[in-house]
Amino acid sequence: MTPPTTGLPAENTTDDNDHLVQSDDPEHPANLIPSLCAKFWTLGWVTGTGGGASIRDDDLVYLAPSGVQKELMKPSDIYVLSLAAQAQSLSRRQRVYLRSPPVYKPSQCTPLFLAAFTKRNAGCCIHTHSHWAVLVTLILEQQGSKEFRINNIEQIKGFGKGFQKSGNLGYHDTLVIPVIENTAHEEDLTEFLEEAMDKYPDTYAVLVRRHGVYVWGDNVHKAKTQCESLDYLFQLAVEMKQLGLPWITDIEPTIPTRKD
Amino acid sequence: MTPPTTGLPAENTTDDNDHLVQSDDPEHPANLIPSLCAKFWTLGWVTGTGGGASIRDDDLVYLAPSGVQKELMKPSDIYVLSLAAQAQSLSRRQRVYLRSPPVYKPSQCTPLFLAAFTKRNAGCCIHTHSHWAVLVTLILEQQGSKEFRINNIEQIKGFGKGFQKSGNLGYHDTLVIPVIENTAHEEDLTEFLEEAMDKYPDTYAVLVRRHGVYVWGDNVHKAKTQCESLDYLFQLAVEMKQLGLPWITDIEPTIPTRKD
Amino acid sequence: MTPPTTGLPAENTTDDNDHLVQSDDPEHPANLIPSLCAKFWTLGWVTGTGGGASIRDDDLVYLAPSGVQKELMKPSDIYVLSLAAQAQSLSRRQRVYLRSPPVYKPSQCTPLFLAAFTKRNAGCCIHTHSHWAVLVTLILEQQGSKEFRINNIEQIKGFGKGFQKSGNLGYHDTLVIPVIENTAHEEDLTEFLEEAMDKYPDTYAVLVRRHGVYVWGDNVHKAKTQCESLDYLFQLAVEMKQLGLPWITDIEPTIPTRKD
Amino acid sequence: MTPPTTGLPAENTTDDNDHLVQSDDPEHPANLIPSLCAKFWTLGWVTGTGGGASIRDDDLVYLAPSGVQKELMKPSDIYVLSLAAQAQSLSRRQRVYLRSPPVYKPSQCTPLFLAAFTKRNAGCCIHTHSHWAVLVTLILEQQGSKEFRINNIEQIKGFGKGFQKSGNLGYHDTLVIPVIENTAHEEDLTEFLEEAMDKYPDTYAVLVRRHGVYVWGDNVHKAKTQCESLDYLFQLAVEMKQLGLPWITDIEPTIPTRKD
């Protein structure tokens, strides 16, 4: 990926910083967010302008705006924000954008994406309204549970072991995803998301009851892989529930005969 | 969007007004209806020539014709009608088209689309045969109900508060969509659709029992967003029903600690 | 559609008649069968080389071959057969092709497609392995039934009233599709398909138990519309079964107040 | 398919053998694996970098690497290995690649693909994480079964009769797919896969409990056809289970009246 310019070059200080979202490189965050979101739309993750995605490149954060049809988004619709500048801001609730699109308003997801970037050093965060995620939170609600737990499914290997740990989860490991309750205003989820991050330091995702899921990763590749793997597991979990199959089982490891 | 010519320019009065559906702008209604319908076909909303869409641009109404394969529609298949001219017509049941396609007949959905435009000032109306919509009406039929009600699901925020109201519904609000009974002839639905609009002045959609749904909005963006959000909720509702989960719940709002 | 050459022009009698499948017109049957089958593959109708489609243009019948991956088919893979020549053949089981592809063998579906063309004057016949169709035959098998019956669903209007009848079925009409038992060899289905056509002269489709469905129409447009509508109804029927909803109901027609 | 160069031409011995994955022919294995995997991604078979595919062309084996997003794979990501050279290797667990991609690590699936090539002379092997496959293994686990068995479904004809046998299974034949237990490390599945091949010499697929399925065939066409047919049957089997329909039935063959 061609590194996008960080901060404001002298010759651009008077303009609207549109250069921050202009690149011929398909891997540039301003191009990648629209192409990713178009793909997510076909998966049913960002229906009806719901959901979104954000990419961090060093100090710069690229954000899909509010209310945009995700399969039609353009690079010129993207917001850009500096983490350093934001940290110096007097209010957590007020955000200063280096670059704003001419039409759309900022997404209410912004502080949640920022939490993944600042608290977990994530490089990408994806928010979906996948109905598999929503159904899992509803099934857990009936059980009075605030954790999604599943083990002994191969796809669990799609997740990293945790924050600043190397390697991935194993087949026999239990994947645990915390569930937080939804709030009337999406921004208000931030403190609960951060609480969940503190309580579950190794999680790469937080489910939001009756709403969807936030998934992050060290980079776009890892965030997308973890989000796909999680959606796969949510779908499987709902289908297992319909068939009366438990999500957690106690399986004795199969030991191969080491031949060489 | 380049505004299409309203009415008949002097130099065109003798021709067939084909210029009304000819534009290089992909956002022109005559181009947008086919591209939207092709997308809707992949979603299963307009299978087997069912369903349709109409866009209003000021006085001009653009309509998909009857019996066309929705993923293969062309701009030249589009009907155009003037609302003002229609209002002066002696009969509500007879319609005068400014421009007609050479092959197809007018859609029986036309008076239902017109109701959304004249009674609600809508800019776009979408009609789907989505089987999620049909299943919801069947489940409600078993319960003897004429209303789909759901609350405490994030995607409800995808709907406006109502006719001439600003802002959108909130997470805790209950979305209510009236259900009308199907009639042998689709045109005959019009009076029942209008009755439902009168009874539920803030609704942006009406379900038709064993048939599908009509969804509208102030413009194409809002109609599509509301139609996608509704289909998402219908699918979720059917899946909730299969899992024994209720559509309406009494949830105490989660109050965040305001930190700044 | 540019009419393809009927029979063998003098200057071509010595060649392999490849010109019969060569055309720049996307609506030419040799181009249309591959593009339709690619679309059907995405719908899950022709998975694993199953299913197929055939188009009749006057005396000439164009056929997908056996064992081809349906989303990868090319015009050069198409068989062409003359109905008149076939009628003069000594054996119903032996077929004389005007044009054969260099690689593939003829499809065992051929005599079933020919039955639709000769007994019903169809212009197109589609055979799918849609699992919705198979599930419907399995549900009916449990009920000891040889007929799929459904009424009071709008999509039923997607079907013509019947052979040599004008107009379509109405909302309150009951759509009846006969089910024949599967045979070890697909060709052997022919006599049972023809029996079903005789017993149900107005049907445009025959279900094959544990196998799929054959659907035809006067032309490609009607065959495709009826096939899509039927698959929609089969899916709806399976989902209704899962929700405990009956396929046949006694609904009193809703009568509108005629205002003008 | 243009046969790729086997072994190392003299003029290339010092380079990195990148020519082995460079071809303009879309049917070249290095091009075909990425295009197949992109298609499989849309089918949900290789979500979250799971699953994979390998093609053997005479002595050369082409392999998708570990951890690649399957819909984004490029020919330059492909590993190439010589079967003859591998056979001379001192350790089964150590593999010598003729060509390695600059970024990715070898896939843990490699020894399982090699088993299909060396023990069954397969030309292509596909590994999916399809959740239909996983659900089938979970349903069988509840029944204490290590075999998936289904009969009297037309799609069963999509499978060959078995290793070095000609012809395909018939409609009344019972398709039997063995299930092996999953291991913590995917490589460790190899000995159990090979055991299953020995015990079920005619199978073209092995299910892996809570993981997915390995499917192979004499060539790419046959492997893909068998993999699609199997996924179709797994989906059907899960839906049959949800509807309370048995997978194995005793059906008397329908005998046609031979007329000519």
For residue B133, count other CB atoms closer than 10 A to its CB: 30
Flag whether residue C236 sits within 8 Å of chain B, measured between CB atoms.
Answer: yes
Q: What is the mean pLDDT of residues B125-134?
A: 98
- B92 pLDDT band, cuts 50/70/90, is low
CB environment D125-154: b (16+ within 10 A), e (fewer): bbbbbbbbbbbbbbbbbeeeebebebbbbb
- By C-alpha distance, which of A135, A202, A197 is closest to A168? A202
What is the greatest pairwise CA distance in chain A? 69
D228 falls within a domain: yes
Residues of B in contact with A139 (CB under 8 A): 243, 245
According to DSSP, the β-strands at D174-180 and D205-208 are parallel
In this predicted structure, the answer to whether residue A76 has a pLDDT above a threshold of 90 is: yes
In this predicted structure, the answer to whether residue D8 has a pLDDT above a threshold of 70 is: no
Structure tokens at C97: 């092709």
d(CA D17, CA D31): 16
Q: What pLDDT sits at residue C257?
A: 75
Model confidence pLDDT, tens digit, residues A167-188: 999 999 999 999 999 999 999 9
d(CA C38, CA C40): 5
Model confidence pLDDT, tens digit, residues C137-159: 999 999 999 999 999 999 999 99
Q: What is the mean pLDDT of residues A76-91?
A: 89
D108 falls within a domain: yes
A196-210, B225-239, D246-260: the lowest-pLDDT one: D246-260
Flag whether residue A57 sits within 8 Å of chain D, measured between CB atoms.
Answer: no
A4 vs A94, higher pLDDT: A94
Do the Cβ atoms of B48 and C225 come within 8 Å? yes
Structure tokens at B61: 């109404």
Q: What is the mean pLDDT of residues C26-40?
A: 98
The answer to whether A124 is a known ligand-binding residue is: no
Structure tokens at C7: 């029979």
CB C212, CB C199: distance < 8 Å: no
Q: Are residues A62 and A150 in the same domain?
A: no
- C15 pLDDT band, cuts 50/70/90, is low
d(CA D13, CA C156): 68
In this predicted structure, the answer to whether residue A257 has a pLDDT above a threshold of 90 is: no
A199 falls within a domain: yes
Burial of A162 (0-12, 13-18, 19+ CB in 10 A): middle
Structure tokens at B120: 């609600």
B248 falls within a domain: no
Structure tokens at D199: 């015990």
Flag whether residue D182 sits within 8 Å of chain A, measured between CB atoms.
Answer: yes
Of the residues C154, C181, C187, C195, only one is catalytic, namely: C154
What is the DSSP annotation of D147-197? EEEEES-GGGGGSBSSTT--SB--TTSEEEEEEE---SSGGGHHHHHHHHH
Model confidence pLDDT, tens digit, residues D179-214: 999 999 999 999 999 999 999 999 999 999 999 999
Q: How many residues does chain D have?
A: 260
d(CA C182, CA D173): 13
Please give the C-alpha separations between residue C45 and each of A209, A230, B145, C49, C232, in angstroms, as whole numbers. 37, 29, 36, 10, 12
Helices (H), A3-162: 29-42, 83-88, 110-120, 131-142
Helices (H), B61-174: 83-88, 110-120, 131-142
How distant is the Cα of B231 from the closest Cα of chain C, in angstroms?
15
- C16 pLDDT band, cuts 50/70/90, is confident
Closest-CA residue of D relative to A253 is: D183
Model confidence pLDDT, tens digit, residues A115-157: 999 999 999 999 999 999 999 999 999 999 999 999 999 999 9
A8-22, B169-183, C25-39: the lowest-pLDDT one: A8-22
Model confidence pLDDT, tens digit, residues B39-90: 999 999 999 999 999 999 999 999 999 999 999 999 999 999 999 998 887 6
In this predicted structure, the answer to whether residue D9 has a pLDDT above a threshold of 70 is: no
Q: What pLDDT sits at residue B17?
A: 94
CATH number at residue D130: 3.40.225.10
| Residue % of chain B over a pLDDT of 90 | 85
SS3 sequence of B146-207: CEEEEECCHHHHHCECCCCCCCECCCCCEEEEEEECCCCCHHHHHHHHHHHHHHCCCCCEEE
Flag whether residue C166 sits within 8 Å of chain B, measured between CB atoms.
Answer: no
Q: What pLDDT sits at residue B259?
A: 54
Q: Are residues A139 and A101 in the same domain?
A: no
Model confidence pLDDT, tens digit, residues B7-42: 444 344 446 899 999 999 999 999 999 999 999 999
Model confidence pLDDT, tens digit, residues C182-200: 999 999 999 999 999 999 9
Q: Are residues A160 and A71 in the same domain?
A: no
Q: What pLDDT sits at residue D257?
A: 75
Nearest to C172 among B91, B134, B184 (CB): B184
Do the Cβ atoms of B260 and A139 come within 8 Å? no
- D50 pLDDT band, cuts 50/70/90, is very high
In this predicted structure, the answer to whether residue A8 has a pLDDT above a threshold of 50 is: no
In this predicted structure, the answer to whether residue D13 has a pLDDT above a threshold of 60 is: no
Beta-bridge mates of residue C178: C147
Residue after which a domain boundary falls, among A54, A72, A107: A107
Do the Cβ atoms of D191 and A224 come within 8 Å? no
Domain count, chain C: 1
Q: Are residues A85 and A182 in the same domain?
A: no
In this predicted structure, the answer to whether residue C218 has a pLDDT above a threshold of 70 is: yes
Model confidence pLDDT, tens digit, residues D115-134: 999 999 999 999 999 999 99
- A220 pLDDT band, cuts 50/70/90, is very high
Report the half-sphere exposure of D198 (CA within 13 A, side-chain side): 6
Give residue A163's domain range: 130-250
Q: What pLDDT sits at residue A96?
A: 85
Q: Are residues A79 and A155 in the same domain?
A: no
Helices (H), C19-80: 29-42
- The structure tokens 């349709």 sit at B52
Report the half-sphere exposure of B99 (CA within 13 A, side-chain side): 26
A223 falls within a domain: yes
In this predicted structure, the answer to whether residue C258 has a pLDDT above a threshold of 80 is: no
Q: Are residues A215 and A177 in the same domain?
A: yes
Active site residue C181: no
B252 falls within a domain: no
CB B225, CB A48: distance < 8 Å: yes
The answer to whether D129 is a known ligand-binding residue is: yes
Residue after which a domain boundary falls, among A107, A141, A175: A107
Nearest-Å Rg of the Cα atoms of chain B is: 19
The answer to whether A109 is a known ligand-binding residue is: yes
Phi-psi group of B236: left, alpha or beta (phi > 0 → left; psi -120 to 50 → alpha; rest → beta)? alpha
Report residue D93: phi and psi, to 5°. -85, -15
Residues of B in contact with C43 (CB under 8 A): none
C11 falls within a domain: no
In this predicted structure, the answer to whether residue C115 has a pLDDT above a threshold of 50 is: yes
B38 falls within a domain: yes
The answer to whether B109 is a known ligand-binding residue is: yes
Q: What pLDDT sits at residue B253?
A: 86
Flag whether residue B224 sits within 8 Å of chain A, measured between CB atoms.
Answer: yes
